[in-house]
Amino acid sequence: MTQAITETDLQGIKLVRRGKVRDVYEVGEHLLIIATDRVSAFDVVLPNGIAGKGEILTQISLYWFRQMQDIMPNHIVATQVSDYPAVLRPYAQLLKGRSMLVKKARPMPVECIVRGYLSGSGWKEYQKSGSVCGIKLAGGLVESARLGEPIFTPSTKAEEGHDINISFDGMRSIVGDALAESLRDSSLKIYAKARELAEKKGIIIADTKFEFGMFGNDLILIDEVLTPDSSRFWSKKTYEPGRAQDSYDKQIIRDYLLTLDWDQTYPGPVLPDPVVEKALERYKEIYRIITGDAMPLPA
Ligand SMILES: Nc1ncnc2c1ncn2[C@@H]1O[C@H](COP(=O)(O)OP(=O)(O)O)[C@@H](O)[C@H]1O
Ligand SMILES: [Mg+2]
């Protein structure tokens, strides 16, 4: 198996942030975002990565950025190493396929989550209170039920640890009324378009998270979009309300981790090869289904 790229070190280029999965460098007026092969589960970065994951997720994001550009401008400046500043050329091999040069935005301090189906923390909250992030839902919904209308359920963007779900009013008090409304409307619009496109390919986008930032006076879509790290993708073929669904994301990894006696704090356990291979297969499969391409991956 190819070696997973779990850490990058671009000599002489300023590292501004090592996120859970991506390393962010500053290059002139732009940022260079490199998706590594790191895997985070339950907000813990695991010791070993999945070789090729960074490329697959980057390419899925780029597909969606293109699909959405007429409804929402985004941060992309360049995606081909040949179009990057010359200082990055020595790293062409590393950067190819897994990086993007982007506009430096001021990230909104909230995560914009849209849910079309009842799952994860939304399902947990609904069982307790009948509502999700302060939105009252119809009674008697089962796990994974399709909601009548997709709902916008923002959360805080925690620097460390878990994000906390907030109500729309809570969000208003953080970013102001006008921005809160634009963020909600844009998120719902992007989700609606994505869901329609995905459904034609036999995929249900149960929920997803967007990040936006201000670039000058404009609100733009930043970060990653509609990847298995930021969304729950289900197969229409096997979808069955009333239970948890098999998803094209880290489910395989989470399921494995839940068999262990691990308290979900650092350090995380090493993933055995068969789990890594199975997860990679799932990532490749969702890439193929969504973009319609076979991923030209390293062997
Ligand atoms: N265009 C942009 N301008 C500024 N920051 C960005 C932009 N796009 C993404 N980011 C930030 O880069 C980081 C990406 O790394 P990631 O691994 O997702 O980190 P995290 O652990 O915070 O999820 C995130 O903090 C995200 O908010
Ligand atoms: Mg992130």
Every domain of the chain and the residues it spans:
1-104, 107-248
User: If we measure between CA atoms, which residue out of 36, 38, 31 comes closest to residue 15?
Assistant: 31
CB atoms within 10 A of CB 45: 18
Per DSSP, the residues of 72-117 read S-B-EEE-SGGGS-GGGGGGHHHHTTTEEEEE--EE-SEEEEEEEE
Residues 90 and 207: their CA atoms lie apart, in Å, by 39
| Ligand with an atom nearest the CA of residue 209 | 2
**Nearest residue CA, atom 4 of ligand 1?**
105
CA of 138 from ligand 2 middle (Å) equals: 31
Q: Is 103 in the pocket of ligand 1 (CB under 6 A)?
A: yes
Fold of 1-104: Phosphorylase Kinase; domain 1 (3.30.200)
Q: Provide the CA 240 distance to its chain's centre, in angstroms.
A: 24
Residues 105 and 102: their CA atoms lie apart, in Å, by 9
Instruction: Say if residues 88 and 44 touch (Cβ distance below 8 Å).
Output: no
- Ligand 1 atom nearest 105 alpha carbon: 3
CA of 113 from ligand 2 middle (Å) equals: 13
How high is the pLDDT of residue 1?
61
Mean pLDDT by 10 residues, the chain (299 residues): 92 96 98 98 95 97 97 97 97 98 97 97 95 95 98 89 88 97 98 98 98 98 97 97 92 94 97 96 95 64
The amino acid that residue 102 corresponds to is: V
Question: What pTM was computed for the model?
Answer: 0.95
CB neighbour list of residue 118: distance below 8 Å, 6 or more residues apart: 126, 132, 137, 141, 142, 143, 144, 145, 147
Residues 226 and 293: their CA atoms lie apart, in Å, by 17
- Ligand 1 atom nearest 157 alpha carbon: 22
Q: Is 213 in the pocket of ligand 1 (CB under 6 A)?
A: yes
How high is the pLDDT of residue 299?
36
**Nearest residue CA, atom 9 of ligand 1?**
223
CA of 134 from ligand 1 middle (Å) equals: 27
- Ligand 1 atom nearest 38 alpha carbon: 17
Q: Rounded to 5 degrees, what are φ and ψ at 122? A: -65, -45
Q: Is 106 in the pocket of ligand 1 (CB under 6 A)?
A: no
CB atoms within 10 A of CB 188: 17
Q: Is 20 in the pocket of ligand 1 (CB under 6 A)?
A: yes
Residue matched to tokens 């990679």: 280
**Nearest residue CA, atom 25 of ligand 1?**
19
CA of 177 from ligand 2 middle (Å) equals: 25
Fold of 107-248: D-amino Acid Aminotransferase; Chain A, domain 1 (3.30.470)
User: If we measure between CA atoms, which residue out of 32, 130, 18 comes closest to residue 84?
Assistant: 32
Instruction: Say if residues 190 and 43 touch (Cβ distance below 8 Å).
Output: no
Q: Would 1-104 and 107-248 be classified into the same CATH topology?
A: no
Q: Which residues pair with 101 in a beta bridge?
A: 32, 78
How high is the pLDDT of residue 78?
98
User: If we measure between CA atoms, which residue out of 91, 74, 73 comes closest to residue 82?
Assistant: 91
Dihedral angle at the C-alpha atoms of 189, 192, 197, 199, nearest 10 degrees? 170
CA of 174 from ligand 1 middle (Å) equals: 19
Indicate the SS3 state at residue 276.
helix
